Amino acid sequence: MPLTFDEELRYSRHLILPGMGLAGQERLKKARVLLVGAGGLGSPVALYLAAAGVGTLGIADDDVVDVSNLQRQVLHRTEDVGRSKVASAVDALQARNPLLQLQPLPTRISSENALEIITGYDIVVDGTDNFPTRYLLNDACALQGKPLVFGSIFRFEGQATVFDARRGPCYRCIFPQPPPPGSVPTCAEGGVLGVLPGLLGMIQATETMKLLLQIGDPLIGRLLLVDALDMRFREIAISKDPACPLCGDSPTLTKLIDYQGFCGLGPRTAEETEWEISAEALRACLPSVRLIDVREEWELDEHPALPGARHIPYASFSRRMAELDSADELVLYCSAGIRSWHAVGLLRNAGFTRARSLHGGLAAYKPVREE
C-alpha cells in the first residue's frame, strides 16, 4: 500500500526517522487497531494513532458524552454533550486526519460479540474502566493470539503494560480473581486528575505504535506504575503464571464466559431490587431513618457526611456491622451507591431486613436547601 503524495507530506517527520522511513509508515497505513473505550484513556490514544497515520481505527463505546467527561476526555467538546461518544470521536478524528479509515462501533463489547469484532484487528487497546470488560478483552485477545495494550487510572496514579499471551503474561496471570464488588472505588467515586489519562493514554499509543512498527522493547512482562503527584515511574517485572487457566501450561478456559457474573456484578434478583431507596424517598423519610456512611476516611474530607450519619468504612464493614441494631431502619450510602449496596447485602444476610442502600449514592442526593 504505497503512500500517496499527501500522505508523504503529512507524515514527513516520520519518514526521516532512522529505522522507520517509507516502509514503516506503510506498515502503519495497513495496520488495523481496535480501541475499546472513547473516554479518558481512549481520547489521547485515538488522537495520536490517528495523527500518526494508523490506517484503520475501530472505536467501540456505547456511552454518551456527559459534561463531567470534559475535564479529561479531550476528544469531546461542550457541544457534544448528549451525543454518542463514538459519533463525537469520529468527527474529531476525521477533522484531525481525513486520510484514515474509521470504523465506529457504538456498542458494548460482550461475550457474544467480542471474538467476532476483534478478529478484524491486529491490536486491541483497552481504554475501559471496569473489571468485567478488562477480563473479557484479555481473554478474547489471548484466545485469538492478539496483543492487548492495557492502561488504568485512579486519582493520581496509573498503570500500563502490554499483555500478549504468546510472548508473556496475560491479565489473569497477575490478577487471577477480580476484587470483591464495590471494594475498589471507580473514578466517579474517587475522582481522577484530568491530565492523568492523557499521560497514560500517550504511553498506550506509544506501545501500540512500537508493536505495529516492530521496534523498541514493548512493555511485555513489565508493568509500568505512574505516580503523577511525585512524577515517578516505577517498573515491576511480571511473569506468565504456569497455573493460569487461560494461558498456563494446562489451560481450562477455552471460551468466553459471563464476566458480569465472574466479577460478582450479575443481574439482581427481585428481592435485591428492593434493597435500594431513591434520593426523593430518603428525603421524605428523614429524620426517622439512621444513616450509615460507608465511604473511606479520605472521601469525608472531600465531601462531608450527611447530617447525623454514622461512619463505618466499607473496608471494615463486615467486622463492624454488629455495632448496628437490626431493629432500626437503616439507609447506607457511598459516593455512587455501589459499595453501600453490597454492604446492605451483608446486613440482609445477617437478618437486617430494614436496611437499604441509597440508589446512586451522594451523586444522586442533593439536599433541599432551606429558604
Beta bridge mates, 276: 357
What distances in angstroms separate CA 217 from CA 128, 146, 149, 162, 199, one per listed residue?
24, 17, 14, 11, 19
The alpha carbons of the chain give a radius of gyration, in whole angstroms, of: 23
Verify whether residue 170 is a known catalytic residue: no
Dist. CA 351–CA 11, nearest whole Å: 66
Tell which residue, 163, 164, 168, 175, has the closest CA to residue 131. 175
What is the per-residue DSSP string for 189-200?
Answer: HH-B-TTHHHHH
Amino acid at site 149: V
SS3 string of 23-81?
Answer: HHHHHHHCCEEEEECCCCCHHHHHHHHHHHCCCEEEEECCCECCHHHHHCCCCCCHHHC
What b-and-e string marks burial along 152-171, b requiring 16 or more CB atoms within 10 Å of the CB?
Answer: bbbeebbbbbbbbbeebbbb
* Cell output for 328: 432500626
User: What's the rounded Cα separation, in Å, for the pair 285 and 52?
Assistant: 57
In the numeric block, which cell numbers belong to residue 358?
441509597
Map grid coordinates 421524605 to a residue: 284
- Strand ranges (DSSP E) for 198-240? 222-227, 232-237
Indicate if 187 belongs to the active site: yes
Instruction: From the candidates 141, 173, 247, 334, give the one annotated as an active-site residue.
Output: 334
Task: Tell me the sheet residues that pair with 298.
Answer: none
From the candidates 141, 170, 173, 187, give the one annotated as an active-site residue.
Answer: 187
Q: Catalytic positions, please?
A: 187, 334
